[in-house]
Each structure stands twice: as structure tokens, then as C-alpha cells.
Chains A and B, each alone.
Chain A
């Protein structure tokens, strides 16, 4: 991505050049906003339940997502719609790194005989998982952003994603309302598979990393086959 000064290599008629809007900087508002967030963080710090830390991690996640234009929606939509897998591969790398980090932490507790933390997303696989995945995948592409993407774009000023957020909330409430029915009829009949239970800790990590690696290669090959090159990250 090159910056254009007066030495553009593409010749372009001056009539198509837009009237340059007067250059201004938002740095002043940015600094004021940072100060405001700092104050909020300090006020939250007075609460004893760690709210200020959650707020800080939220700020960090939001900042990283916006700066890198990271988008889980794109990782799943692009291979099909634009034949690109650069974001897909980045997501796979994130899976790999987090797998190692998470497992390291959990294993540390395990070998000490302590209860394993962070098992909140080790959940039963059932028809609900399948339906949930389909609904969520469809919805995120239509809405122009997944859960994190929606929050990020609200912060960037997209009013469309603000509407999406509002209806995400309503949909969630509706889902929570129906959850009892799904639990009774499907989720309770599901099976929870924690991979270390099946392959052992070491085996589970190795197998998962191999799967991620194979998917990575497949993604690379897909883009090459469809567009003739694999691009960069």
C-alpha cells in the first residue's frame, strides 16, 4: 500500500481527482478520548470484582481488531466469495497459538491435581451446535460482521452494525428463552468431547496442530488454484 504524493505512477486526469477536503487531524479528539477511557478505568478500579481489568482487555481487543482489520467473517466468507484465504490462514494461526497457550495453562493445573480452568466452552455437540453454526454463519455474512466484528464496527461508526448489534441482543434473548427447549430435546442428548480425554494431553495438541497445519496448506492451495497466487498475510 503506497502513499501517494505528487508522484503517482498511475496517470490520472485532474478532473477526476476529488476536491481535496481540508486536511484535519483527529488526534486531539483521540487524546481526549484516551484520557476519558483512562478515567473510566480508574473509576472501575474501585470495584473489587476486576471490572477495570476486563475493560482494559476489551480496549486492547478492540484496538487490535480495528488496527489489523481482523475479521472472522471474512475468514469464512472470502474463500467462497472472493477466493481469498489470507484472513482464513491468519485465523488458523491464531487457533494454533492459542491452542498451545491454553493447553499449557490448563496442563499446569491438571498435573497439580487442581480443577482445570476455562472449560466453559467445552460443551456438548448436538443438533443445536449444527443449527447454531448454520444460523450464526449465515447471519454474520448478511450483517457484515460477526460478534466481535459487530462491536468493532460500532466503534468505527457504522450505523448499520449498530442496528445489527441491537438485533443480535434481541436474537440472543430469544435464544435464551428457547434454550430450555433445545437443552431438553437436543443438547442433553449430545456428547461432550474434550480431546485430551480421547488422545491424552500431548496427543490432543499434536493432532489439533496437525489438523490446523493441513487446513493451512489447503487454504493456501485453494487460493493459488483459484487466483494464481497465494498472496501475503
Chain B
């Protein structure tokens, strides 16, 4: 069960989501993708997309204006 960190700090809007989508394709079932985000739109649209795909998602605010979106690839 791998845990992969994806640093998207400082990236503009759709980029965290596009990168997360790509990265998630490379992972196996059961792996965790941890996306680090500081964009307010991305902290909304990345979890939304992941939930639509059917993955387990949790969002944690780790600092002022910084979030970690933890996605578990369940299928």
C-alpha cells in the first residue's frame, strides 16, 4: 500500500486536479494519493472529482490556506 505525495502548492486552478487525475491512474488499488493544495478552488474541485469517481476522500487543513486532500484509490 503506497502513499504518494503530490505537491501542488502554488499551482493555478485546474492544474492540481489534472495532475491528481494523471497520478491516480498510475497507482494501484489501495494506494493513497496525498495532494498538497493551497488554491481555494482546487481544495473544492479535487475532492469533488475524487468522490464522483468513487474514491475515499478526506480533506485536512494543515495550515492557513494549505490543505491536504487524501484520496484512497478504492477501485
Contacts and interface: CB of A to CB of B under 8 A. Distances in A.
Nearest to B13: A144
A231 to B, nearest CB: 5
A189 interface: no
Main secondary structure of the interface of A (DSSP, over half): loop
A94 interface: no
Interface stretch (A8-16, A55-63, A129-137, A168-176): A8-16
Contact of A13 (B3, B17, B21): B3
B72 A10 contact: yes
Given A73-B13, A74-B13, A9 B41 contact: no
Given A16-B3, A81-B14, A229 B40 contact: no
A154 to B, nearest CB: 13
Interface string B22-59: 00000000001010000111001101110011001011
A12 B32 contact: yes
B49 A84 contact: yes
Nearest to A22: B63
B62 to A, nearest CB: 6
A18 B64 CA distance: 14
B64 A16 contact: no
What's the interface size class on A, roughly? Answer: 35 or more
A69 B40 contact: yes
A48 interface: no
Contacts of A86: 48
B3 A229 contact: no
A26 B64 contact: yes
Interface string A38-58: 000000000000000000000
A229 B52 contact: yes
Interface residues of B, number: 31
Given A13-B3, A77-B14, A18 B68 contact: yes
Contact of B58 (A8, A21, A66): A8
A4 interface: yes
B18 to A, nearest CB: 7
Contact of A4 (B18, B53, B58): B58
A120 interface: no
- Which of B13, B18, B49, B64 is packed against the most chain A CB atoms within 10 Å? B13
The 3 closest A-B pairs by CB, nearest first: A144-B12, A21-B63, A4-B60
Given A16-B5, A69-B41, 15 more contacts: A2-B59, A8-B70, A9-B56, A9-B58, A18-B68, A21-B63, A26-B64, A74-B41, A74-B45, A81-B14, A81-B18, A82-B14, A82-B17, A156-B40, A231-B52
29 contacts: A2-B59, A4-B58, A4-B59, A9-B58, A10-B32, A12-B3, A18-B62, A18-B68, A66-B40, A69-B40, A69-B45, A71-B13, A71-B41, A74-B14, A74-B41, A74-B45, A81-B14, A82-B21, A82-B45, A82-B49, A84-B45, A84-B52, A143-B12, A144-B12, A157-B65, A158-B39, A227-B52, A228-B52, A229-B52
